[in-house]
Chain A
Amino acid sequence: MSSNVTLGFSTEQVVNSINLGLIVVGEDLGILLWNDWMSRHSGISREQALQQNIVTLFGGQLTPGFLRGLNNVISYGSPSLLSSALHRSPLPLYVAQELSQTPARMHQSITMTPLLSAEGGVRTCLIQISDSSNSVRREKMLISHSDAFKREAITDGLTGIYNRRFFDESYIQAVRHSKRHRSNLSLFMIDIDYFKPYNDHYGHQQGDKTLKLVANALFAQMRRPSDICARYGGEEFIMLLADLSEEQAVNFAQRLCASIADLAIPHATSPTADHLTVSVGVQTWTPDQTSEILPLLNGADEALYRAKSLGRNQVVVKS
C-alpha cells in the first residue's frame, strides 16, 4: 500500500489496533477480515477464522437478529443496526473480569454496512462490534442512583418518615380519590407542645432524638397502606386517613395523643404536664357535606390553633 511510505503506518495496523471488532464477510458468508480485537474477545484466531463461513464458525450460535442483519446487507445493500438494548449479546464474545473470575459475556452494539467493490458488482459486509458493557453498567448504576434519589426526595432526613413534599403530592391524589369514590377523608395536624422550651432546656441533640421518637410513635398508629404520615414542619406532623367516620377520627386523634404521652418523655419546662404532649387538630370531610373538600388543610390547622389556645395537650375537631 502506497500510504505506508508517506504515513509511516499501514491500514492493517489501524485495523488491528482499533478498539472495535471488525469482520468483513463476502457474499458467500466467508470471512475475509478478522481483526485482533475479534481474536482477543472470541478466542478464535485469524487463521482459524479466515475463509470460514461465519455461520459454521460460530456453530449455530448466531442469533436470528444477526442473520437478518447480515441478509439485509448482502441481499439488499441496507445497513443494519443491532442495539445492545434489544439484543444484549448477539455474538459469543467475552470480556475479562476481575482476576480468577470466568470471563463474562460481552454486551454488544453491532453495525453492519455494505462495502461495494470498485467495479460496483460484488457486495461484502463490514461488521463493526463495540463493547457496550460499560454503558450497560453505567445505565444500571444511573437507575439505582435515580431510585435512591427518588426515595430521598420524599423522605424527611431526620425522622425517616415522609416529608412535606411527598405529603403535598399525596394529598391532592387522596382528595381526588375521596371525591371520586365519595368516601370520607380525615386530616390530622399534630404539634409537639412547648417544643422550643424543650430544645432550650435539653439541647438540640436531645430535641432531634425526641422528634424521631414522636415520628415513630405516630407512624406506628397507621393501619392501612393508604394512610399517610409525614413531617410537615419543625415539630409539626400531618396524617391523612381515609374512610373514618367523624367519631372514629376523633378517637384516632385521642389515640395519637395517648401514644405520645405513653412514651413518657420527661419535659421539665412544660406548663401542661411533666412529660411531652401533643396537640391535635382534626377535620373530616364527608361526601354529603356541601362544602368543598379543599379547605381541609385550613380546617385542621384552625382546629390545631384552637387546641393550642385552649391549653394544649388535647384534640380539637373543626366543626
Chain B
Amino acid sequence: MNVFSDIEIDALTEVFNVGAGRAALTLSEIIGEEVMLSVPSLKVLSSAEIFPSVLTGKDGKFATVSQVFSGPFTAEAVLLFTENYALEIVRDMMGSQMSIDDLAEFEQEAMSELGNIILNASLSAMADMFDISLNSSLPSYSISSPQDIADRFVDNGSDDNYVLVLHIDLVLEKHHTEGHLIFLLSSTSLSKLVAHVQQYLSNIL
C-alpha cells in the first residue's frame, strides 16, 4: 500500500522514534536501568491484511494495551506483545523474584502502565512535531488470541480502514523483546495524517 512516499515513511518513522526515545527515558527512570526502545520499521496495510502480515506464525496469545485518541485525526492505538514476552517485561520491570504464575494481579496494572507510557510518548511526539493537540482515553488491557485481534480490526467499521503497523524493539535488562504498535484509522483520518506529515516535511525541507 503506497499511501506514503518513501520520504514520508522516513519522516513518520522519525516521529515515532522520537516518541520511543521519550518512552525509553521514562522506563529507565522507573526501573533504574538503561532501556532501549526503537521503531525500526513502519508500514501501512488495509485492515484485512493485518492477519497474514503481523499475526501469523504465533499460536500463543497477545497482551494488548489500547487507547483511543482523537484530534485532527482519530485512531485506536494498540500495543501488542506476545503474552510470554509481556510477562517477562513486567517481571524485569518489577525486578521481582516472583515466578511468572504469581504475577497475575500486578501484571495487568503494570502492563497497562507500560502501554500507557509507550502510547503517550508516541502521541506526545506526534503532537509536538506536527504541532497538533490530541486527546486520548485511558489505556485498556486485554489478553487476546491472534484471531480475536484480527476480528477486532476487521469488524471495527468499514472496509476502508487502514492500519499503521510499527515494529517495536525493546531491550530491557539484557532481554530483547519485539512487539508491534498498531494504529487503526479510517481512510479520512489516514489522509489527514498524510497531510500532517507533508506539512511537517515542507516545514523542515
Contact = CB atoms under 8 A, between A and B. Distances in A.
Interface string B66-99: 0101000000000000000000001001100010
B47 interface: no
B29 A77 contact: no
A135 B93 CA distance: 19
Nearest to B124: A76
A143 B110 CA distance: 18
Contact of B113 (A75, A82, A139, A146): A82
A139 B96 CA distance: 13
A135 B110 CA distance: 14
Size class of the contact patch on chain A: 20 to 34
B113 to A, nearest CB: 4
A259 to B, nearest CB: 37
B137 interface: yes
Contact of B110 (A68, A85, A142): A85
Contacts of B133: 76-77
A65 interface: yes
A113 interface: yes
A142 B67 CA distance: 31
Contacts of B69: 78
Given A65-B29, A81-B112, A83-B110, A72 B124 contact: yes
A82 B134 CA distance: 21
Given A79-B138, A80-B120, A85 B29 contact: no
Contacts of A80: 116, 120
A64 interface: yes
A135 B105 CA distance: 8
Interface residues of B, number: 32
B42 to A, nearest CB: 21
Nearest to A143: B102
B109 A83 contact: yes
Nearest to A72: B120
B116 A85 contact: no
Interface string B94-134: 10001001100111011011001001100110010000011
A82 B110 CA distance: 8
A113 B106 CA distance: 21
Interface string A115-127: 0100000000000
B105 A77 contact: no
A116 B136 CA distance: 12
Nearest to A78: B120
Contacts of A111: 138
Contacts of A279: none
A135 B133 CA distance: 37
B26 interface: yes
Nearest to A113: B138
Contacts of A299: none
Given A72-B120, A72-B124, A79 B29 contact: no
Interface in A106-141: 109, 111, 113-114, 116, 135, 138-139
Listed from nearest, the 4 A-B pairs whose CB atoms lie closest are: A85-B106, A83-B109, A85-B110, A83-B113
27 contacts: A64-B29, A72-B124, A76-B120, A76-B124, A76-B127, A77-B134, A77-B136, A78-B67, A79-B67, A79-B136, A80-B120, A81-B112, A81-B113, A81-B116, A82-B113, A83-B106, A83-B109, A83-B112, A84-B106, A85-B93, A86-B93, A111-B138, A114-B135, A142-B102, A142-B105, A143-B102, A146-B102
